[in-house]
Amino acid sequence: MRLSREGRQGLTLISPTLAYALVMLAAPLTMVVTFSFWTQNYLDLDTTLTLDNYREAWGTPIYQVLLLRSLKISLIVTFVTVLLAFPVAYFLSFKVKRRKALWLFLITIPFWTSYLLRVFLWKVILGYNGVLNSALMGMGFIDEPMTFLLYNLNAVVLTLAHAWAPFAILPIFVALEKIDRSLLEAAEDLGDGKIRQFFRVTLPLAMPGVVASTLIVLIPTIGDFITPKLVGGTDGLMIANMIQIQFGKANNAPLGAALAITSMLVVASISVVIFLAGKKFGGKVE
């Protein structure tokens, strides 16, 4: 194959990244896929190809429950995050006239501490003797600590939504920034008030950003295992925690691999649905 000069240049430019991606992504992925068709016999692996792992992963109630719960949690998290991110992005794009860079900078402040630390902080805030309970009791709003704050699904949703908010804000902000402001004036000129302008012009044109935000939040949250483990209690455990157990304590890597592949397929198909839905609702945008 003969390559043009630009072609060679381009390949040279991306080759470190490409090599890295191949080694660090494709290779482990191939391994996981392969693993999922093998069987664990205590200390050694039986490399005869089999679908038993998938049968167990899809057929056992506990895995079904965990997968559905993961899906439910990440869908709620995504919905909450994107819903809260949109007004922030809108404010940034339409209302902030000066120092936008400063505002963007402020939004990234949560990243200055590690993810783990942030999850712990939520534990401190939501705990039995935590900041929230102490404060409310101190002010006399409640007599005894609320226990529904921590170690359940709500805590997982709250923590994840907070952690992923900046990731959701930025794509929506970019999409809103790209909207030609004269389109809104045209809509106004043609009779639309502010609310109609928003639903007929702003929102459809911001749809690519909304879809990007949705996917950016949805995909990693399904596989998150730190947050559910730290603040989720038993009700908040998710599929990733089970995968971790299979690869670790349970010493059943093939089953873990089958669970991982299963959740990957589920995420991928949901992503495709969201992508197509967004495209349909947002119309054709170059």
Partner 1 sequence: MTGKDPRAIIRMQDVTKFFGSFQALKGITTTINEGEFFSLLGPSGCGKTTLLRMIAGFDEPTDGAIYIGDEPMAGIPANQRPTNMVFQSYAIFPHLNVADNVGYGLKRKRMSRAEIAAEVEKSLAMVDLAGYGKRAAHELSGGQRQRVALARALVMRPKVVLLDEPLSALDKKLREQMQVELRQLQQSIGITFILVTHDQEEALIMSDRIAVMFEGQIEQVATPEQLYRHPVSRRVASFIGVMTLLDARATAQPGNTVRVDIPALGTVDLPAARVPEGIDLAKVEKIGVHPEMLTILQDEHETAERVVEAEVASRSYYGDMTYYSVLLPGANAPATISMRNTFGRSVIDPGAKVKVGWGQDSIILFK
> Which positions lie near partner 1, rule CB under 8 A?
180, 182-183, 185-193, 196, 200-201, 204-205, 282-286
Do 243 and 96 meet the contact criterion of CB atoms below 8 Å apart? Answer: no
185 vs 235 by CB, closer to partner 1 = 185
140 vs 191 by CB, closer to partner 1 = 191
Tell which residue, 60, 81, 64, 80, has the closest CA to residue 266. 64
106 vs 190 by CB, closer to partner 1 = 190
Could you tell me the two tokens for 275? Answer: 């992508």
CB of 88 to partner 1, least distance (A): 23
CB of 270 to partner 1, least distance (A): 24
206 vs 243 by CB, closer to partner 1 = 206
Please give the helix or strand (H or E) that residue 45 lies within, else none: strand 44-46
CB of 194 to partner 1, least distance (A): 9
Side chain identity, residue 130 = G
CB of 183 to partner 1, least distance (A): 5
Do 256 and 223 meet the contact criterion of CB atoms below 8 Å apart? Answer: no
CB of 195 to partner 1, least distance (A): 11
CB of 84 to partner 1, least distance (A): 25
Its sign, for the CA torsion 220, 162, 228, 74, is negative
Could you tell me the two tokens for 46? Answer: 């039986």
208 vs 256 by CB, closer to partner 1 = 208
CB of 113 to partner 1, least distance (A): 40
Tell which residue, 74, 89, 67, has the closest CA to residue 258. 67
52 vs 192 by CB, closer to partner 1 = 192
Task: Determine whether 52 is exposed, middle or buried from the number of CB atoms within 10 Å of its CB (0-12, 13-18, 19+).
Answer: middle
Give the Cα separation of 214 and 278 in Å (integer): 10
**DSSP-assigned letter for residue 179:** S
3-class SS of residue 286: coil
183 vs 226 by CB, closer to partner 1 = 183
Do 84 and 165 meet the contact criterion of CB atoms below 8 Å apart? Answer: yes
